[in-house]
Structure 1
């Protein structure tokens, strides 16, 4: 029975991947948030000819792993901002509005961790291993100190990373994430599979259900976000493999069962962000993080879910730029 369940889930994952690829031909959906973001996009075009849509994917080798990464805004200098992404995500799952806007002022790097997307090696199945892999990548890039932006699973990796190597981190942004042992985190797999089924039966991307509320504004924001993810049409990353997806689910389950860490030792400034109705990593965890981190700032977006930073991307960029610039 267990083997049958895994086989069915693998088939569902592959179906969802194919479905997402098929939707690439859909017509764009306009959004008010995108319209409000026009000025900063024009500023980006004036400052740089390369955006997230065109930036090449490069590789760097460390510890026998070929890490795939993309980099923008290197000419700004300063502390690099390293991005750590969510469950089942590869490079093309980052919102181009967020990346381009941050890169208009900062050196920004996104990468696939070991065994994910175009990066070689076997995928890690714990947050501790993922943090070690991220440290390996950061060291290989020659960065002595970085800022971290971790979303969802990436925010958990960021917590482990700063606990392991506090001298490596200047500031942290934690979005849609929670602490070890946090409420509902060990149940992420169940929520994910349920919404994958909802997506499959309704012909929609599962992220529409996982990341956004089912209110009119949430549904519109989800559609706009999914269209933005399709803007890059050439040189796209490899989709996550089924084995890597299951390794990440195992890591999430272990994180949810893990004893709480002493977050009071994290002295770095931390921006903690989420929507007020996160189904994947319940928002109560966001409040918990903000309470336990001694130097934190909390932002909660109304009528927003797990993908609140994508729904309110213009405001999130402003808050993040202000936070990093202080």
Structure 2
């Protein structure tokens, strides 16, 4: 599935109607035209997609090509490593595991974050005896993919109450089916990720669900995942990389300040992609810090957890070596 010119024409028309303007850039255009291929996520609009719809990439030489959907972050990282796309997007823990496994990726910008307004929530049916993290032992939890944010959140949650990290069973269920499998009692708990608030909102409209816990209860306020680029691609296209990150972060800030307009753009995109446009009304934001900026703790928190669990060696990864900073990247590489 490719993002059609018609779709971006519709988004651009809507953006123009909302009287939007692109922010100033430290680099007006890439040194040569660059096409960035990527995989979309069902029910959502990535910050670079939003930036493109807002016209932020106009006259920069950067264009985008949507080449399909990613079931989850690990699939996106695999496509990036294989050269099928120019950018990937995944939960922080998945990004770090991929880098530790030999992929020379750079965390370009925080794709989403979690706070009390936008967090992943683990739901069970109303009246269920499952009311706390301790009650998850032996239960079945639906998540969108394994090896990503929800997977590692469950592990950390169980660890936090003294249970084995594998005390619950995880099953993979696509976002649009999370409500169905819970209400039909095929699983005990469905986890709606922070990037799946649209699906969560639609589920709650159909009837109350019982919250077990949210990921902020375990992780605090933190970046949930990152859009990542290959280090060699950044070296080959330094101007494009800088503009890409700058404009994407500007779109994150736009969404924070203009939630209603962002929901309108999301609705238009979902309609054009033949997804359910009505779920756009439940979009609560990207959950990132002001200005769309990440901080070292967003990476270091998970580095410490993965080191504790033996997935990383002590000192194997450092946040400052992974987090993209255009001011220092050229000198360091």
Name the TM-score class by shorter chain: 0.3 to 0.5
Bigger relative contact order, structure 1 or 2 (CA pairs below 8 A, ≥6 apart): 2
Q: What TM-score results when the alignment is normalised by the length of structure 2?
A: 0.34
**Structure with greater strand percent:** 2
Give the TM-score taking structure 1 as reference length. Answer: 0.34
Please say which structure displays the higher CA radius of gyration.
2
